[in-house]
Every structure is written in structure tokens, then in C-alpha cells.
Amino acid sequence: MFNVGGLTFRSPYGAVGHGGHYHSQSPEAYYAHTPGLKVVIPRSPCMAKGLLLSSIRDKNPVMFFEPKALYRTSVEQVPVGDYEIPLGKADVVVQGSDMTIVAWGAQVHVCLKAAEKAQQDLNVSCEVIDLCTISPWDIETVVRSVKKTGRALVSHEAPITGGFGGEVAAVIQEHAFLSLEAPVARICGWDTPFPLIHERFYIPDYLRVFEGIKATMEY
């Protein structure tokens, strides 16, 4: 027997490669601004199943955003049994010592590729954190990481102005200011309507994230 929780809304989310202005939005910051509403964004099929079951059984209303780019590109063996992944708990995908990178959804994979390039080209060890839940988000895990590394970068597809990355950056400087060796970097979407044929220039790719890592390390 399982407890029946609050209402969970599943929704396609983020860039898809050809969605344009009306079909590639990343509105997580809008919903995170609503007290009492939880916002969840998985990065993979395994994460999606565990987080979705936790969302359905949660007593609060949940917005469950599914990155459209992963519908056809993310392939993974998903356990057939029942399991839950706790809401509000970030996942440290890769351990590192020189910089903390925070992302969610499909952008986690972009940041992992950038972190790999930073290790190869700059000998910089990046700790990559997937927030998994945007609201409430795991402040403790992120702050602990930044206190260890001394540098932080946040990346998301949504426009930089008003994006949730600003909230993450503000909390980092509030709780880990004395540990920071450089300003918190944000590598995000541009403050323009989402383009159709130029989508690849809008999305923060791994090269933009890599340049952010490099600039933060050289600060």
C-alpha cells in the first residue's frame, strides 16, 4: 500500500532543437517563486522514475518538468522495481576539488562535458552537482561543495535575468562568501526570445561553460 500524495503535473520542458519561441521555454523560475509548490527536473530515465514516484507520493503539489531533449537521446537501463529518489536532495554527479558546477535537467550533461574538457585542457577538477529539485533545493550540499572548492558556476537554459541561477548564486555568496576565490559565474540562455533556426547559438553549450570555468579559474 502506498500513500496517495498531492497533485503532480508532468510537463515537457526546455530546448528540443527545433521548438522555437513557444516550445523550448524553461519556466522553472516562475514556478519556484510560488511558495508550497515543488519543482522537479530529472536528468535521466532512472532519475525520472525515482523522482516521479516521489513526486506523486508527496503531499504537496509538484511541477515535474521533463527535458524534451532527453526524450530521444537519453538511453539507460531503468530498474523495473519500485524505488524513490528523495525530493530536495541534490546529486553530486562528479567529485572535484577546484570548482563547483551546479546545473539541472539536460544542462547537467553539457556541464559534465565541459568539466571533462577542463580536466584535460586546464587540469581543473570540477565537482558537478545536479540539483534534481529546484524547489526546495539542496542548499547544504551546494554550500558544502563551494566551501571545499572556493569557486562556483551555475548553468541553465533559461534566460540569465530572473533565472534560478541568480538565486543559487545569491545563496552561495551569503553562506560561503569567505570561501570564494572568484565571483559566482552564470552561464545561461540569452535575454532574448527563444530563436527557431538559431537555437544552437542560444543554448549554453559545453564550450561556453568551459570558457566560464576558465575565466573563473583565472580571476
Cβ of 175: how many Cβ atoms within 10 Å? 16
Residues 6+ apart with CB under 8 A from 200: none
Alpha helices of the chain — where are they, by DSSP H?
20-23, 28-32, 45-57, 107-122, 139-149, 164-176, 199-202, 206-217
* pLDDT reported for residue 157: 94
Domain 91-217 has CATH 3.40.50.920: yes
3-state DSSP call for residue 15? Answer: coil
pTM value?
0.93
* pLDDT reported for residue 1: 38
* pLDDT reported for residue 161: 96
**3-state helix/strand/coil string of 28-62:** HHHHHCCCCCEEECCCCHHHHHHHHHHHHHCCCCE
Closest CA to 14 of 27, 29, 5: 27
Phi, psi angles (nearest 5°) of residue 126: -105, 135
The stretches in the chain having pLDDT less than 70 are: 1-5, 17-22
Closest CA to 101 of 213, 217, 215: 213
The structural domains of the chain, with segments of one domain joined by +, span: 8-70, 91-217
Cβ of 47: how many Cβ atoms within 10 Å? 22
Please say whether the beta carbons of 89 and 140 come within 8 A.
Answer: no
* pLDDT reported for residue 2: 46
Is the bond into 136 cis (omega within 30 degrees of 0)? yes
Cβ of 193: how many Cβ atoms within 10 Å? 12
**Cα(42)–Cα(204) distance, rounded to whole angstroms?**
18
